[in-house]
Amino acid sequence: MKSLRVAVAAALMSTVVFALPAGAAGPDIEASVHTISRFKTGSDATRFGKLEFLGGLQFSSNDSMLQSLSAIRFRPDGKSFVSVLDTGHWLTGQIERDAEGRLSGLSRLQVSPLL
């Protein structure tokens, strides 16, 4: 029963997320982004079995609505994302990558209320 509720909630979230009109988001917000270049401190390893570590991102903002992410989903383009914040808002934006495909930053961050 619990897995059915989770599946229904995920389906509803996906429907709402992909139905959001482009103009539903608020103005761009500022965030400082720190790239994480190593998966394990002191190691340059990037391959872990079939997985390859492409980097990580840590971000912070003075915007009080950006406190914690509850969920994140990438759109079909693999660059744009929609996430749910613990403050009851959507966070949308784009992942930036360098020439080698490694994570390098975030752009077009916007916060808007859940509908």
Write down the residue that tokens 């790239």 correspond to.
35
> What mean pLDDT is predicted for residues 1-5?
45
In this predicted structure, the answer to whether residue 23 has a pLDDT above a threshold of 50 is: no
- Count of domains forming the chain: 1
Paired residues of 52 in beta bridges: 47
Domain that holds residue 32: 2-113
Using 50, 70 and 90 to split pLDDT, how confident is the model at 26? low
Percent share of the chain, pLDDT over 70: 77
Q: Between 11 and 93, whose confidence is greater?
A: 93
pLDDT tens string 49-105 = 999 888 888 888 887 777 788 899 999 999 999 999 988 889 999 999 999 888 899
Quote the pLDDT of residue 66: 76
CB atoms within 10 A of CB 66: 20
Between 30 and 108, whose confidence is greater? 108
Place of tokens 């897995």: 3
Dihedral over alpha carbons 74, 80, 85, 87 (to 10 degrees): -150
